Amino acid sequence: MPWCTHCDRFLSPSTVRTDGTCPTCGKPADVESGRARRLRAIPWHIKLLIVVFGVYLLYRLGQGIDWLIGQL
Ligand SMILES: [Zn+2]
């Protein structure tokens, strides 16, 4: 979804002018998809948290497999 950095808001693709400028302020709108923008906007410490949580889950999974093997 197009984004206008000047107005700090998303624009619906139909309202963006054919030359790619914002209909409100006339500045060039960023036509990069909003999804890609939001992914890049994730703070680094949240990414670190996700990685640490993933490692923890793998560790617990290994413990679970060990337990299962112990039950056999
Ligand atoms: Zn604008």
28 CA from centroid of ligand 1 (Å): 8
pLDDT of residue 66: 95
36 CA from centroid of ligand 1 (Å): 19
12 CA from centroid of ligand 1 (Å): 12
Q: Where are the domains of the chain?
A: 1-41, 43-72
Tell me the whole-structure pTM to 2 decimals.
0.42
37 CA from centroid of ligand 1 (Å): 17
d(CA 2, CA 16): 8
Over residues 29-53, the pLDDT tens digits come to: 887 655 566 667 778 999 999 999 9
Neighbour count for residue 2 (Cβ, 10 Å): 19
Over residues 1-37, the pLDDT tens digits come to: 888 888 988 888 888 888 889 989 998 888 765 556 6
Residue where the block lists tokens 């703070």: 43
Is the separation of the CB atoms in 12 and 24 below 8 Å? Answer: no
